[in-house]
C-alpha cells in the first residue's frame, strides 16, 4: 500500500482515509458553525481543520467519494450564509502562514486562511503594507479575495485587484496556479469566485512600502455633502462617510498618505467606554423601548461631533470599530447614481421618522467608494461605485427587527442599478444577476468546467448562481 507521504489521495483505501482525517475532524458536539454576526448557524455533517495542503487534498478526496458538498470557511466573518453548509466544511484557520515576502518586487505570498490582522503585522515587520483595506481586518485573506471585499477611495479598486496569482486546489484534486496571464479565465472567476472555483491554497498579493495616513474627520450637514458630493469624494485619497439620518449629519473622513509622525486621534473614554460599552447598553434598552433608538442615534452622532486630525499606520486608520454583532446589508450603486439614491433613501427614512409606528433604525449609514474594475462578479465591474451599507446592531447578541428596513432599502438601491456585496445577504437570483453582470454566464461556465459535480456549490451558490430553490432563511439563527 502506498505510504501517507507518497500516495495520491485517490489511492488511499477509505478506511485509511478516515484514519488520516481523524486528527483534524472536530468532534460531533463541536461541529457547529456560527458567523460573526450571529445571524446564520449551520451544523455540517463534518468539520475539518487541516494543518497543511495534503490534508486539504484528503478532505476533498473524502467529499468526492461520499458525494458530499465541501464548503471552505475561514473565520466566518461574512454576515450572510455564504460559508454555511449542511454537509462537509473545511475550516482554514490553521492554514495561516506567510510563505514569502519579497520587498524588492513588493509582493507577499500567504496561505488563504491567514487573517488580514496577522498579514498586516507581518507586512509591518517588513516595512510593507496593503494598498487599501476595509473597515475590519478580522477576515481571512481568501474570504476577502473571493468576495471582492473593498475599502474606500474613488481611485482605488477592490482588494482583489491587488491579487497577482492564486494557487487553487480544484474539484478533481489537481492544483493549478492562475493569474491574468495563466489560466486567465479561471483567475477572473476566482478573484470574486464565492468559493465555487476551488480551494484557495495561497494568494500572491501586490503590496507597497509601509505608509502612514493622516485622517481628518469633521461633521457636516447631509445636504451640504450631497450637493458637493464629487468635490468631497475627490478631495482626498481615501474618503468615507458615516451618515446619521436622525440628525441629517454626515461624519466625513478624509485620509491621505503622509510622512508626519504618528499622532493617533481619539481617547479610550470617548471611543471605548462611551462609544462602545455605554452605546451597547443603550441599544439593548432600545430593543424594548423603540422610541429610544432615535435619541441613541443622536447621542452617538454627538459623541463624534468634534473635528479631529490623526496620523497613524495605514491599517490602523483604515480599520474602525464595527462594534457588535449585527444584521447588515450593503450594495454598490453606480457612482453617477449616488446622489439620487441617497436622496431617495433620505426621503424614505424621514417618512418613517414622522410615522409614530415607523421604523427606528440604528446608525450610521456607511458610504464608501471604489474605482471601476474588470473582475467578472465584482460589484464595481466596469464602473466606479458608491457602497451604501446599513446595519441593525444586536446588542449582547440579542436579535432586533431589521427585515422591513432592509426590504425598503433594497427596493431603493435596486432602482438605481445597485449590485449587492456578495458577502452580505441579498435575494437576487440568476435572472437578475445576469442583467447586472455581463460575465455572469462566463462565471457559470467556468465553475461547471472545473467542478462538473458541484462539490464546491453549497446552498448559497446553488441559490444565487445556479438558481436552485434553496430557502434564503435555511440557516437563519432566528426564524
Query: For the segment 227-281, what is each residue's pLDDT rounded down to a tens digit?
Result: 999 999 999 999 999 999 999 999 999 999 999 999 998 776 767 778 789 999 9
Higher pLDDT, 36 or 203: 203
Is the residue at 203 inside a domain? yes
329 lies in the same domain as 302 = yes
Is the residue at 205 inside a domain? yes
For 362-415, what is each residue's pLDDT tens digit?
999 999 999 999 999 999 999 999 999 999 999 999 999 999 999 999 999 999
Cell of 133: 483595506
350 lies in the same domain as 226 = yes
Q: Kindly report whether the peptide bond that precedes residue 149 is cis, defined as omega within 30 degrees of 0.
A: no
State the CB neighbour count (10 A cutoff) for residue 430: 17
d(C-alpha 341, C-alpha 358), whole Å? 21
Phi–psi pair at 442, nearest 5 degrees: -65, -40
State the CB neighbour count (10 A cutoff) for residue 265: 17
For 61-99, what is each residue's pLDDT tens digit?
999 999 999 999 999 989 999 999 999 999 999 999 999
194 lies in the same domain as 225 = no
d(C-alpha 113, C-alpha 48), whole Å? 13
Chosen domain end from 210, 236, 265? 210
For 156-167, what is each residue's pLDDT tens digit?
999 999 999 999
114 lies in the same domain as 128 = yes
Contact 215, 260 (CB under 8 A): no
Is the residue at 416 inside a domain? yes
275 lies in the same domain as 393 = yes
State the CB neighbour count (10 A cutoff) for residue 118: 17
Chosen domain end from 163, 181, 210? 210
Is the residue at 398 inside a domain? yes
Question: 3-state DSSP call for residue 32?
Answer: coil
Is the residue at 10 inside a domain? no
255 lies in the same domain as 188 = no
382 lies in the same domain as 265 = yes
DSSP code, position 165: E
Chosen domain end from 405, 420, 435? 420
Is the residue at 76 inside a domain? no
With 70 as the cut, is the pLDDT of residue 6 above it?
Answer: no
Question: 3-state DSSP call for residue 87?
Answer: coil
Compute CA distances 156 → 53, 100, 152, 303, 339, whole Å.
Answer: 33, 25, 7, 30, 20
DSSP of 444-458, one letter per residue? HHHHHHH-TT-TT--
Q: Give the angle subtended at the CA of 52 by the CAs of 49 and 58, to the nearest 5°.
A: 70
Name, in order, each residue with C-beta under 8 angstroms of 344's C-beta and a sequence gap of 6 or more.
412, 415, 416
206 lies in the same domain as 216 = no
Can you give the pLDDT at residue 21?
Answer: 97
Share of the chain above pLDDT 90, in %: 91
Contact 71, 87 (CB under 8 A): yes
d(C-alpha 144, C-alpha 426), whole Å? 18
For 94-108, what is each residue's pLDDT tens digit?
999 999 999 999 999
225 lies in the same domain as 362 = yes
d(C-alpha 293, C-alpha 245), whole Å? 12
Is the residue at 84 inside a domain? no
Q: How many domains is the chain partitioned into structurally? A: 2
In 3D space, the residue among 260, 426, 412 whose CA is nearest the CA of residue 328 turns out to be 426
Domain of residue 261: give its range.
212-420
Amino acid at each position: 500500500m502506498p505510504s501517507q507521504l507518497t500516495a495520491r489521495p485517490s489511492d488511499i483505501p477509505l478506511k485509511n482515509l478516515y484514519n488520516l482525517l481523524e486528527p483534524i475532524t472536530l468532534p460531533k458536539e463541536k461541529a457547529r458553525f456560527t458567523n460573526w454576526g450571529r445571524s446564520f448557524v449551520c451544523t455540517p455533517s463534518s468539520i475539518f481543520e487541516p494543518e497543511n495542503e495534503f490534508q486539504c487534498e484528503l478532505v476533498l478526496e473524502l467529499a468526492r467519494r461520499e458525494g458530499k458538498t465541501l464548503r471552505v470557511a475561514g473565520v466566518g466573518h461574512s454576515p450572510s450564509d455564504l460559508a454555511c453548509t449542511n454537509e462537509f466544511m473545511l475550516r482554514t484557520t490553521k492554514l495561516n502562514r506567510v510563505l514569502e515576502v519579497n520587498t524588492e518586487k513588493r509582493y507577499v505570498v500567504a496561505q488563504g486562511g491567514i487573517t488580514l490582522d496577522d498579514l498586516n503585522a507581518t507586512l509591518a515587520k517588513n516595512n510593507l503594507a496593503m494598498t487599501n483595506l476595509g473597515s475590519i481586518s478580522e477576515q481571512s485573506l481568501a474570504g476577502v479575495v473571493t468576495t471582492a471585499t473593498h475599502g474606500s477611495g474613488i481611485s482605488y479598486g477592490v482588494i482583489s485587484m491587488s491579487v497577482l496569482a492564486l494557487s487553487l486546489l480544484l474539484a478533481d484534486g489537481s492544483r493549478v496556479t492562475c493569474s491574468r496571464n495563466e489560466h486567465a479565465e479561471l483567475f477572473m472567476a476566482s478573484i470574486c469566485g464565492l468559493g465555487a472555483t476551488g480551494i484557495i491554497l495561497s494568494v500572491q498579493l501586490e503590496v507597497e512600502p509601509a505608509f502612514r495616513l493622516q485622517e481628518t474627520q469633521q461633521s457636516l450637514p447631509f445636504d451640504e455633502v450631497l450637493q458637493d458630493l464629487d468635490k468631497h469624494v475627490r478631495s482626498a485619497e481615501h474618503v468615507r462617510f458615516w451618515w446619521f439620518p436622525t440628525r441629517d449629519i454626515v461624519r466625513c473622513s478624509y485620509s491621505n498618505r503622509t510622512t508626519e509622525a504618528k499622532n493617533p486621534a481619539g481617547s479610550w473614554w470617548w471611543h471605548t467606554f462611551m462609544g462602545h460599552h455605554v452605546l451597547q447598553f443603550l441599544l439593548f434598552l432600545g430593543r424594548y423601548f423603540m422610541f429610544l433608538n432615535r435619541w441613541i442615534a443622536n447621542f452617538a452622532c454627538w459623541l463624534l461631533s468634534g473635528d479631529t486630525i490623526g496620523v497613524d499606520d495605514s491599517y490602523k486608520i483604515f480599520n474602525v470599530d464595527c462594534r457588535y454583532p449585527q444584521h447588515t446589508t450593503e450594495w454598490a450603486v453606480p457612482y453617477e447614481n449616488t446622489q439620487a439614491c441617497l436622496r431617495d433613501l433620505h426621503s424614505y427614512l424621514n417618512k418613517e421618522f414622522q410615522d409614530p409606528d415607523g421604523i427606528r433604525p440604528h446608525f450610521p449609514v456607511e458610504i464608501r467608494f471604489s474605482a471601476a474594475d474588470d473582475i467578472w462578479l465584482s460589484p464595481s465591474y466596469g464602473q466606479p461605485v458608491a457602497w451604501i451599507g446599513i446595519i441593525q446592531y444586536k446588542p449582547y447578541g440579542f436579535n432586533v427587527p431589521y427585515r422591513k428596513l432592509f426590504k425598503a432599502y433594497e427596493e431603493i438601491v435596486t432602482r438605481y442599478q445597485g449590485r449587492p456585496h456578495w458577502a452580505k445577504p441579498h435575494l437576487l437570483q440568476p435572472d437578475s444577476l445576469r442583467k447586472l453582470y455581463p460575465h455572469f454566464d462566463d462565471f457559470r461556465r467556468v465553475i461547471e468546467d472545473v467542478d462538473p459535480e458541484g462539490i464546491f456549490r453549497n446552498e448559497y451558490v446553488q441559490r444565487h448562481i445556479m438558481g436552485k430553490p434553496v430557502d434564503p432563511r435555511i440557516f437563519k439563527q432566528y426564524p
